[in-house]
Amino acid sequence: MSKKDYYELLGVGRNATEQELKSAYKRLAIRYHPDKNPGDPAAEETFKEVAEAYGVLSNAEQRARYDRFGHAGVSGSAGAGNWGAQGFGGIEDILGDLFGFGDVFGGRSGGGGGGRRSGGQRGADLRYDLEITLEESAAGMTAQLRIPRLETCDTCTGSGAKSGTQAETCTTCSGAGQVRYQQGFFSVARTCGACRGTGRIIKTPCETCKGAGRTERERELEIKVPAGVETGSRLRITGEGEGGASGGGAGDLYVVLHVKEHEGFERQGSNLYAAVPVTFAQAALGSDIMVKTLNGEQPLKIPAGTQTGTVFRLKGQGMPVLGGRGNGDLFVSVALRTPTTLTRDQRRLLEELSKIEDRDLEDKGLIDRVRDIFG
């Protein structure tokens, strides 16, 4: 069966304005709405066709495609070509945009509520928390993620109906997804129990997804973690969230990073901080020592008379800056290490040293010594 021309369906010229399209559709939608024509499949068919035509022509991009390529240009896009899958999905939204749907047909409050549907529901965004080490953050890495998620069913491409069959319009609610009850002056809308608000009934469900249109699957995904990420950095992977329903697009995947604490380094932005132990002799006499960095070891010259707590800066030995613009620095704080055990020789030498130091300190006033300690 060849499809009818969208402009002809709406009874407008090919250069109709947006406003002309809108009022043409509004007029036809009211005339052919299933609620106004119960048990009239021809009216229902026209209603669907008209809604489809308006769905395409009211979208500037799709209209341009339709003008150039005809039905082939817009098949599969929202509002066209996949009514079997969508049922009445989308129509209420289009109508809702035009005028308060409830105002015209009564009883239905515009928007909200469980009965409101939109054809092609976008899949949910997913969050994945990934813990990595400081070394991995410094070098960048690829990570293998296993993500359990709902994906659009391959067998029925999300329609929920067995191949060769189509979802049918729910006869209880005529596809509206809601049933109204008159109670005195009020009419109360309730989600249709027969179709659970979807407006369509799947007579022969797809065997793979049991009619849900989506299946749960554990998907293995390889992602690139760039060098320099920090705890709280988010990577967005477009289209790797949950699959959409009834032809809706997939959501996105957000990978939230957590960088583990490192026992040797503390991190602040792209700078690293570490403590390096030195002996009293090394600090007093000066020394060349080796300092652990993320990439191995680096030599560091400790000048004679270095005090405990003195900080040295090793340029470029910090973390890479996210986005590939150089590196931070490594700040090394000297920590004087007091020996807990002494050999006989060490004890003898230290005792001798101590005698000289006692004389040095006695030369100073008591207050100065207190200042030396707490200053």
Nearer to Zn ion, 206 or 257 (CB): 206
Nearer to Zn ion, 159 or 327 (CB): 159
CB-based burial label for 39 (10 Å; 0-12, 13-18, 19+): exposed
Long-range CB pairs of 101-104 (<8 Å, 24+ gap) are 104/30
Residue 194 and residue 255: Cα distance in Å, rounded?
Answer: 39
CB of 92 to Zn ion, least distance (A): 13
CB of 80 to Zn ion, least distance (A): 22
Nearer to Zn ion, 21 or 192 (CB): 192
CB of 153 to Zn ion, least distance (A): 3
Q: At 251, which amino acid appears?
A: G
Nearer to Zn ion, 94 or 170 (CB): 170
CB of 115 to Zn ion, least distance (A): 9
Tokens of 102: 């409830």
Nearer to Zn ion, 217 or 347 (CB): 217
Nearer to Zn ion, 212 or 336 (CB): 212
Q: At 134, which amino acid appears?
A: L
CB-based burial label for 78 (10 Å; 0-12, 13-18, 19+): buried
C-alpha separations of 156 from 85, 166, 207, 218, 246 in Å:
9, 10, 9, 19, 10
Nearer to Zn ion, 120 or 328 (CB): 120
Asked if residue 92 lies in contact with residue 47, where contact means CB atoms within 8 angstroms, the answer is: no
Q: Which residues are near Zn ion by CB under 5 A?
A: 153, 155-156, 170, 172-173, 192, 194-195, 206, 208-209
Tokens of 196: 């659970």
Residue 299, helix vs strand vs coil: strand
C-alpha separations of 178 from 107, 122, 193, 344 in Å:
10, 22, 8, 94
Asked if residue 218 lies in contact with residue 147, where contact means CB atoms within 8 angstroms, the answer is: yes
CB of 25 to Zn ion, least distance (A): 24
CB of 229 to Zn ion, least distance (A): 38
Tokens of 70: 């005809």
Tokens of 322: 């996210």
Tokens of 288: 């060349």
Residue 318 and residue 291: Cα distance in Å, rounded?
Answer: 13
Nearer to Zn ion, 173 or 294 (CB): 173
